[in-house]
Amino acid sequence: MKYYAIIVAGGKGNRMNLAVAKQFLELDGKPILMHTLEAFHQCVLNPVIILVLNIHQHLFWEELCTKHDFKVPHQVIKGGQERFDSVKNGLKVIKGKAVVAIHDAVRPLISAEVILQSYQMAEEKGNAITAIKPVDSVRIKREGQDSEALNRDELYLIQTPQTFQIEQLKKAYLQPYRNEFTDDASVVERAGFSIHLLQGERDNIKITYAQDLELASFLLNKKGS
């Protein structure tokens, strides 16, 4: 069995109001994206890493790799209009029997242990979707001003990696794009496959806002201490 990781790096930094895409922001001395690629490189299964990046950012990424002497082996391919299209482009370069993890570029704190577990579960069950339980109370907005409490014990907050046997992904990504495809699990579920949840990690945050970068730095330093 061969293992792959598709790292989706299409973010533009809009929520941070930044000119530079957030995956290139520095986290403890190097771009966030480099931390993410290193996490997968540290997995004992040695997955082949495919970085899906906006074509206009390829040269900038090469310059960053030179500047930081970044040696983690990876293949860079062109991103698409939507995340859906970027993943589809990543799948095109994968041949033969494989297990594929798809991961957000801006989740740099994922552990090698959870990456390994995701590959193992997907190999056994077909897929493995990393998720954590919410700790806050949760409500759903209804029409008008009404809202209704939900049982948080029945809810999960979905993370990445989301890992699949290649056959599921190849079939699922033959579908046309739909607005409700918010992640890979929703695409695969729409194709008729059952989704299996894997216990995630609270430290596996997605860097979206400026304060997330500060939290990531704190967690990274705590991890290394």
More confident of the two residues 145 and 38: 38
User: What are the two backbone dihedrals, phi and then psi, of residue 103, each rounded to the nearest 5 degrees?
Assistant: -140, 145
Task: Dig out the tokens for 61 from the structure.
Answer: 């990424």
Domain region containing 144? 2-224
> Tokens for 92?
């095109």
pLDDT score, position 10: 73
Dihedral sign, CA of 200, 206, 212, 216? positive
User: How many alpha carbons fall within 13 Å on the CB side of residue 198?
Assistant: 28
The per-residue pLDDT for range 153-199, each reduced to its tens digit, is 999 999 999 999 999 999 999 999 999 999 999 999 999 999 999 99
In the chain the first and final C-alpha atoms are separated, in Å, by: 35
User: The tokens of 100 are what?
Assistant: 């594929």
CATH number of the domain within which 14 lies = 3.90.550.10
Q: Are 91 and 51 in contact (CB under 8 A)?
A: no
Cβ atoms within 10 Å, residue 104: 24
Report which residue type is found at 67.
Answer: K
Percentage of the chain beyond pLDDT 90 is 88
CB of 200 closer than 8 Å to CB of 128: no
- For the cut 60, the answer to whether the pLDDT of residue 13 exceeds it is no
pLDDT average, residue stretch 107-136: 97
pLDDT higher than threshold 60 for residue 16: no
Q: Is pLDDT of 5 > 90? A: yes
Tokens 């297990």 belong to which residue?
Answer: 99
- pLDDT category of residue 64 using cuts at 50, 70 and 90: very high
**161: buried, middle or exposed (CB in 10 Å: 19+, 13-18, 0-12)?**
buried
pLDDT tens column, 88-114: 999 999 999 999 999 999 999 999 999
Closest CA to 84 of 163, 169, 165, 184: 184
Q: What is the pLDDT of residue 20?
A: 79
- Type and span of the H or E element at 188: helix 184-190
Q: Is the pLDDT of residue 11 over 70?
A: no
Q: How many domains does the chain have?
A: 1
Say what the pTM is.
Answer: 0.94
Residue 111's CB is within 10 A of a number of other CB atoms, namely: 16
Q: Average pLDDT for residues 23-32, to the nearest whole number?
A: 95
